[in-house]
């Protein structure tokens, strides 16, 4: 799995910018929710074109590019339309959209082109516009929680599935138990995962299992640290060592999701496997030339593309509303 192709928000922005010349004259960019909305907004803002979702397009009204409150009707001057997804794999998703468009009769009213930013070799013929080849296996920063490979992933809990406890909550007593039972969820995977590996102490298993069940987290096995006290764990710094030991022996796990950057890097080094840091969006353990780690992504994204593309968090807010 070390040959995994991993694309960040910054990669996406740069790949679009470097291939924007491949997009013909268009009047409207239509994104396929949810992942397709991200590059759709980027392209729309770069070309100063209106952007909408496929449902908005088929309903016949969508926003103009210059005024967020002004809507363009079906009878407007819009003629050339790009319907876009972030990637194409089997072609099933884009074919479903094509059927929707044909059933709505939109293909008779508009000159429609279908596109994808990323494609694997051989699938570029399934769309009219394909920007960048990315071989499988691949994973994107914006949808790793919805990636089918999560069945082969191991997750940490604190800082990943839920928030970290505060120093006041982390008392190894009643306050900590209350935290475990009522912790705010963070990144809940949409697929069943191979394992949950946490350095929480074994004595908190029942409370942890209750929280996982409450929030619909599906997993094959839960590993917790046993045989030591909280004081011994802290003194010996067992967190990364323990997680690495478990992850390394999990033959069916090829990705670990960790929140602490130092631990994530150590886990990748100790195991020779991939480790994704959820707090920095870095993927450690990639063995490929010119590995672009996410330590540059957020700041790099804003500095280099702010004049052209809207911020990542704004994109996320827009996408949640789709």
pLDDT tens sequence across 102-160:
999 998 999 999 999 999 999 999 999 999 999 988 889 888 777 777 899 999 999 99
Q: What is the pLDDT averaged over residues 7-19?
A: 95
Contacts with 92 (C-beta within 8 Å, 6 or more apart), sequence order: none
Backbone angles phi, psi at 273, to 5 degrees: -115, 170
> How far is 56 from 116, CA to CA, in rounded Å?
19
Name beta bridge partners: 87. Answer: 118
Q: What is the mean pLDDT of the chain?
A: 86
Token pair 């397709």 is found at 36
Q: What is the pLDDT averaged over residues 164-185?
A: 97
pLDDT in tens, 204-218: 999 999 999 999 999
Lowest mean pLDDT among 66-75, 173-182, 197-206: 66-75
pTM equals 0.75
Edge-first strand listing for the sheet containing 51-53? 51-53, 28-31, 80-88, 111-119, 129-133
Predicted pLDDT at 5: 87
CATH class of domain segment(s) 147-291: alpha beta
| Residue pair 22/32 in contact by the 8 Å Cβ criterion | no
Query: What tokens does 232 get?
Result: 């011994």
Would you tell me how many other CB atoms lie within 10 Å of the CB of residue 234?
A: 12
Burial (0-12, 13-18, 19+ Cβ within 10 Å), 322? middle
> How far is 319 from 39, CA to CA, in rounded Å?
11
Domain limits, the chain = 5-139+297-320, 147-291
Does residue 299 surpass a pLDDT of 60? no
Does residue 196 surpass a pLDDT of 80? yes
Does residue 300 surpass a pLDDT of 50? no
Name beta bridge partners: 140. Answer: 7
Predicted pLDDT at 144: 79
Q: What is the pLDDT averaged over residues 51-70?
A: 73
> How far is 236 from 82, CA to CA, in rounded Å?
57
Predicted pLDDT at 76: 64
| Residue pair 282/293 in contact by the 8 Å Cβ criterion | yes
Predicted pLDDT at 305: 39
Going along 153-218, which residue ranges are E strands? Answer: 153-155, 193-201
| Residue pair 119/130 in contact by the 8 Å Cβ criterion | yes
> How far is 11 from 34, CA to CA, in rounded Å?
18
Confidence of residue 82 (pLDDT cuts 50, 70, 90): very high
CA distances, 18 to each of 22, 125, 132 (Å): 9, 21, 10
Predicted pLDDT at 286: 76
Bridging pattern class, strands 274-277 and 282-284: antiparallel
Please, what sign has the CA dihedral across residues 310, 314, 316, 317?
Answer: negative
Contacts with 181 (C-beta within 8 Å, 6 or more apart), sequence order: 207, 210, 211
> How far is 102 from 108, CA to CA, in rounded Å?
8
> How far is 270 from 180, CA to CA, in rounded Å?
29
CATH class of domain segment(s) 5-139+297-320: alpha beta
Question: Both ends of the chain: CA-CA distance in Å?
Answer: 33
| Between 62 and 111, residue with greater pLDDT | 111
Question: Pick from 138, 89, 82: which is nearest to 115 by CA?
Answer: 82
Name the strand (E) or helix (H) holding 234. Answer: helix 230-236
Contacts with 248 (C-beta within 8 Å, 6 or more apart), sequence order: 270, 271, 272, 273
């Amino acid at each position: 799995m070390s040959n995994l192709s991993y694309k960040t928000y910054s990669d996406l922005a740069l790949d679009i910018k470097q291939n924007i010349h491949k997009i013909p004259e268009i009047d409207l960019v239509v994104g396929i929710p949810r992942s397709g909305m991200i590059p759709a907004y980027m392209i729309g803002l770069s070309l100063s074109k209106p952007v909408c979702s496929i449902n908005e397009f088929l309903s016949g009204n969508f926003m103009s590019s210059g005024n967020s409150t002004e809507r363009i009707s079906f009878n407007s001057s819009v003629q050339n339309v790009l319907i876009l997804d972030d990637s194409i794999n089997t072609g099933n998703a884009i074919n479903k959209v094509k059927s929707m468009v044909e059933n709505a009769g939109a293909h008779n009213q508009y000159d429609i082109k279908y596109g994808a930013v990323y494609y694997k070799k051989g699938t570029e013929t399934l769309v009219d516009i394909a920007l960048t080849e990315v071989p499988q296996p691949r994973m994107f920063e914006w949808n790793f929680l919805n990636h089918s490979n999560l069945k082969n992933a191991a997750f940490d809990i604190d800082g990943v599935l839920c928030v970290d406890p505060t120093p006041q909550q982390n008392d190894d007593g009643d306050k900590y138990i209350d935290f475990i039972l009522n912790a705010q969820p963070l990144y809940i995977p949409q697929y069943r995962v191979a394992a949950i590996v946490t350095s929480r102490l074994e004595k908190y298993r029942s409370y942890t299992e209750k929280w996982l069940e409450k929030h619909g987290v599906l997993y094959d096995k839960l590993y917790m640290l046993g045989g030591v006290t909280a004081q011994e764990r802290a003194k010996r710094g067992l967190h990364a060592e323990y997680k690495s030991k478990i992850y390394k022996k999990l033959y069916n796990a090829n990705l670990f999701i960790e929140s602490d950057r130092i631990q994530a890097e150590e886990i990748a080094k100790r195991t020779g496997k991939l480790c994704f840091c959820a707090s920095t969006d870095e993927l450690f353990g990639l063995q490929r030339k010119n590995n672009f780690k996410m330590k540059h992504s957020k700041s790099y994204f804003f500095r280099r593309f702010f004049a052209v593309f809207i911020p990542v968090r704004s994109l996320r807010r827009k996408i949640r509303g789709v």
